[in-house]
Structure 1
Amino acid sequence: MTRKIFTIVILSFICLLSLQVQAHAEGKAEIFHINKGKVIKKVPMNNVIHKETETIIQSVTDLYRELEPIPQKGYMVKIPLDPAIMVKNQWMEDLVSEVIVIFPEYENPHLMVFNDENMPYFFRFNGSVDKLLTKLDLKFDGQRE
């Protein structure tokens, strides 16, 4: 029961963050520490972060089919995309203006994107996140390799 409540709280937070990005249009990637329950860092967007995010989106391999896509421990990186990127695969064909890369504590990262009706899609991908992490200056407190 607490896992369901936790998931609902996190999804609500993510939806709220999405609305804030549309309202403020800051143009900053935000790093959310799930364990702490807060944004720990904001990084100004640039062409390299945008391009790396686009590369990750293009490397989608499947839907994320696990029961709980939002982990209880780890990080989420919300990346606003301006200009928006066209996501075209067998599950979705839409312009995406925001991506959330989810870094669970003990699992490979996966993506959350929203379609034009704000419906979330969770995807697995096989692209490297190394350049993105370097540009965001994000290191995982010994949690990840």
Structure 2
Amino acid sequence: MIKKILTTVFLVIILLHLQVIHAEEYKYIEIFDPKQDKVVKTVQTNKEINAMIVGWINGIDRVYAKIDPIKNDGYAIRFPLDPTIQVQNKWLNTTVREVYLIIPENDPPFFMVFETEDRLICFPFDSQISTLSNVLDFKLK
């Protein structure tokens, strides 16, 4: 009888004093190859990459002029932002959670931002692909 009471008290104390542990969720950059139809590399995002993406967004000065931004060659890279950023300029007025960089084989690269769930805006990519290649440790062109 005493054993049952002590076990019950012990279990109640343990259940009342549980600590919730919050694990940090890591965000990963995904490099997608449309020819292979799969993600060919994932890279954990970091402050350097985040700062680079914020620089792209802050440097927006025009929109991408092509009608059809969907490409079947090259690479598509998804960059999640952590933390998200609020952008208010001539071209964007939204919270940016992720940016997609499209690097076609025969056209200039550009990046895409979803302003809302259904509105996509494309912008020319004016930075160096070689710098990005080095940061991601992946040959992009």
TM-score, length basis structure 1: 0.72
The equivalent residue for 1:10 is none
Query: How many residues are treated as equivalent by the alignment?
Result: 117
**Where has structure 1 moved over 4 Å in runs of 4 or more?**
none
Larger proportion of helix: 1
1:67 partner amino acid: I
Deviation at 1:38, TM superposition (A): 0.8
| RMSD (CA atoms) | 1.7
Answer yes or no: is the 8 Å Cα contact 1:57–1:125 preserved in 2: no
Question: Where do residues 1-145 of structure 1 align in structure 2 (5 Å cutoff)?
Answer: 26-140=26-140, 144=141
- Write the deviation string for residues 7-48 of structure 1: whole angstroms up to 9, x where unpaired: xxxxxxxxxxxxxxxxxx640000000111110011011111
Give the direction of change, closer, same or farther, for the CA distance of 1:129–1:87 in structure 2 (3 Å limit). farther
Post-superposition offset of 1:92: 1.4
- For 2:18, the equivalent position in structure 1 comes to none
Consecutive unaligned residues in structure 1, runs of 5 or more: 1-24
Per-residue CA deviation, residues 83-141 of structure 1 (Å, 9 max, x unaligned), is 1123333221111010001101112210111124342111113233433221111203x
SS at match of 1:63: coil
Can you give the 5+ residue segments of structure 2 that lack an aligned partner in the other structure?
1-24
Any idea what the Cα deviations from partners look like across 1:49-74, whole Å, max 9, x if unmatched?
A: 11111112222232112121021211
**Bigger radius of gyration among the two:** 2
Would the aligned equivalents of 1:53 and 1:132 in 2 still touch at CA under 8 Å? no
Q: SS of the counterpart of 1:64?
A: coil
- After TM superposition, give the deviation of residue 76 of structure 1 in Å: 0.6
C-alpha distance in 2 between matches for 1:50 and 1:65: 26
TM-score for both structures, normalised by structure 2: 0.74
- Over the matched positions of the two proteins, sequence identity in percent amounts to 34
Structure with the greater relative contact order (CA < 8 A, sep ≥ 6): 1 or 2?
A: 1
